Amino acid sequence: MHILEIPSFFPPYGGLFCLEQSKALANQGHTVRIIANLNVSVRLSPGLWLHSRTRSYDVVMDGIQVTRREMRAIPFCLKHNVERWCGIVGEMADEYIKRYGKPDVLHAHCCAWAGYAAMLVSRKHNIPYVVTEHLAPELHLKQFGKDGVNSWQVPLLRESLESANRVIFVSEELAHDLDSLFGSDFNWQVVSNTIDTNVFVYKKRKPLEGRMYTICCLANFIPLKGYDVLYKAFAEFIQKYNTDAQLLVAGAGTNSKEMMKLVDKYGIGKHVKLYGELDRNGVLDILYQSDCLALATRNEAQGLVLLEAMSTGIQVVTTDRTPKNVHIEGGCLIAPYNRADIMAERFAEVMHNTGFDGKAVSDSVKSLVSPNVIGRQLADVFESVVSKHQAQGSSQV
């Protein structure tokens, strides 16, 4: 099968889920390429904006051919930027088809705006398209601005989902969360994002005797991640259970002055290490030092970091605002969100759980979200879509 991937975002602006799924599909024997139009912000990336390559060029990323192009976004001109971005994606698709022929299916990541662009390409070239939605409603609403659900964007994005041959959500909860924005008048199903289970591999932790009990949190410093609740819970855990524990924290903004003030507010400074943003090796190093990962999130579209932690062989403590498809039996303990007291109790449960089988939990994660498993699930979706599209075409002849 010939699959053309279209991401809404791509490095250095996130979007690695597109690359990971492309690799998973390629490993199944499919022909997979990516066209990526980067919407470059002069505020976030002045150097890249100034030196943007506005003509398409090819690169290979982890074995996947990517045709990239960079669009200089005009500040405060969102609608104009969206129209330009979708138009450029259409041009890139035209160029792609001239080079490689028509793909069997288009796979867009996030309706804003790859899903909408894929709809336009689909209509022009008669190619079925699938949209995978990764983004929580809070992130969509942030883009909608003061107009909220009345934004001009909503009808267009809703149309891109309703016109899709299939919509994939990374969790069932995300589908329900987005219902108030986009409705549900489309054919949808759930396929999880994948994690690299060949990187996040099981490793037995050292016995707790003679060392500090270690909890980690790997999340960007934003209100949604609940660091205020986490620190309150950790402070209570230390005091109530009289334990000499440490908390390792990494993610964008976690070494900022504002974060340090929050740590000081709860009087846990000597127990907390702040790392800031780390690469994958840095993340792995922290996970292998840790006995537990904590995420006090107030809402999570999927929570891949929980799966990555369990894949390395540790338990996680998180909130009831995470999707059920990351609640691996034996590996995931749940506390109600914004309940620091109960989260503290969960930390104690993990610390005293001497019968925890990290290898079994790691194997469970692999059986659910490894690249091989997710690659097969995506391929099944695409094959179904292509087969139905071909049958409809034949019936109209």
At 45, which helix (H) or strand (E)?
none
Report helix, strand or coil for 347. helix
For the cut 60, the answer to whether the pLDDT of residue 366 exceeds it is yes
pLDDT of res. 395: 58
d(CA 243, CA 349): 13
List, in sequence order, the alpha helices (H) in the chain: 16-26, 46-50, 78-100, 116-125, 137-144, 153-162, 172-177, 179-182, 227-241, 257-265, 280-289, 304-311, 340-351, 358-369, 371-395
Give the closest residue to 135 by CA, choosing from 122, 125, 144, 123: 144
What is the pairing mode between strands 105-109 and 129-133? Answer: parallel
pLDDT of res. 104: 98
Model confidence at 70, in pLDDT bands (50, 70, 90)? Answer: very high
pLDDT digit string, tens, across residues 154-186: 999 999 999 999 999 999 999 999 999 999 999
What angle, rounded to 10 degrees, do the helices at 340-351 and 227-241 form? 60
Which CATH topology does 214-365 take? Rossmann fold (3.40.50)
**What's the rounded mean pLDDT across residues 198-221?**
94
Residue 212 tokens, joined = 């500090």
pLDDT of res. 385: 98
Q: Which CATH class is domain 2-194+370-395?
A: alpha beta
pLDDT of res. 397: 44
For the cut 80, the answer to whether the pLDDT of residue 12 exceeds it is yes
What is the percent of the chain where pLDDT is above 90? 88
Its sign, for the CA torsion 257, 263, 265, 268, is negative
Backbone torsions φ then ψ of 12, nearest 5 degrees: -90, 15
DSSP class of residue 297 equals -
pLDDT of res. 381: 98
- State the pTM of this model: 0.92
For the cut 70, the answer to whether the pLDDT of residue 396 exceeds it is no
For the cut 70, the answer to whether the pLDDT of residue 126 exceeds it is yes
In whole numbers, what is the pLDDT of the chain averaged over residues? 95
The full set of domain ranges for the chain reads 2-194+370-395, 214-365
What is the percent of the chain where pLDDT is above 70? 99
pLDDT digit string, tens, across residues 227-249: 999 999 999 999 999 888 999 99
43-72 b/e with 16+ CB inside 10 Å = b? eebeebbeebeeebeeeebeebbbbbbbbb
**What's the rounded mean pLDDT across residues 318-342?**
96
Residues in the chain: 397
**What's the rounded mean pLDDT across residues 84-100?**
98
Question: Do 2-194+370-395 and 214-365 show the same overall fold?
Answer: yes
